[in-house]
Amino acid sequence: MNTYDFSGRVAVVTGGAQGIGGAVASVLAANGAKVAVWDLDRSLAETFAASIGSAAAFEVDVANWASVEAAYNATIRAFDKVDILVNSAGIAGMNATVADYPVDEFAKICAINLNGTFHVNKVVVAGMRAQNYGRIVNVASVAGKEGNPNASAYSASKAGVIGLTKSLGKELADVNVAVNCITPAAARTRIFDQMSEEHIGYMLAKIPRGRFLEVDEVANMVAWLVSEENSFTTGAVFDLSGGRATY
C-alpha cells in the first residue's frame, strides 16, 4: 500500500465507525491524520475511534442540519480545523419496484444519502475556502450511474451525489479545494443487511471481476484523492466497479 503524509491534517469521515468509512478512517489515521469519526452510532464510533488512535468520535445524524452543525462545531473545538472530508454515511433501503415503493421510504433514503451529503459538504466549505485548502470525497455508487432495478431510491440518491459533487467542484475550483466522488460497486459491509439475497446476487452478477469490492481497495483510492498530490483533479467521478461501469 502507498503511504502518505497526513501529519497536521484533520479529517472528518462520516459513517466512519465501520465499513467503507471505517476503512478510510483507519488508513488516514495510520498515515498521520487526526480523524473525527462522525457516526449515528455513538458507542460504536467511540470504540472504533479509540482503536485507531489520533481520533475522536462525534454522534451525528447527517440527515439533520442542526446535528451536522453541532458535530462540525464540536470537531472545530477539538481539532481547530477540517482539511479533509470523506462522506461515507448512507443507507441502501428496501428493495421494491417504483410502483410498490413506499413514499416515506423513498424520502428517508434521499434524506440520508443526498440531503446528508449536501449538509456535510455545506458545513465544511466556508472553512476550507478561508484556509485555501481542502479535500472532499463523496461516496456515491455505480448504481447512481446505471440505476439498479428495485433500488430506485438508492440509485436516484447516489446519482444526486454525483451531480452535487460536480457542482461543488466547479464552485471551489478557484481555490486549493478538490471535490471528487467515487462510484463503488457493492462491498460486503453491514449495508447488505438491508438488501434481499436476490438483489445481492444481481449486483454480483453485474461485476465482471466476479467478486465484491473490498473496503481496503476503496480506502487506498480515497487516500490519494484526499492527499496533497491530488492538486488538479476536481468535480470528477472515480470508478471502483470491477469493470461494471461502461462510462
Residues involved in catalysis: 154
60-99 as b/e, with b when 16 or more CB fall inside 10 Å?
Answer: bbbbbbebbebbbebbeeebebbbbbbbbbbbbbbbbeee
Helix axis angle for 116-131 and 65-79, nearest 10°, is: 40
Nearest Cα neighbor of 238 from 208, 85, 220 is 220
Helix-, strand-, coil-residue percentages of the chain, each rounded to 5: 50, 15, 35
Considering only CA atoms, which of 121, 131, 84 is closest in space to residue 230? Answer: 84
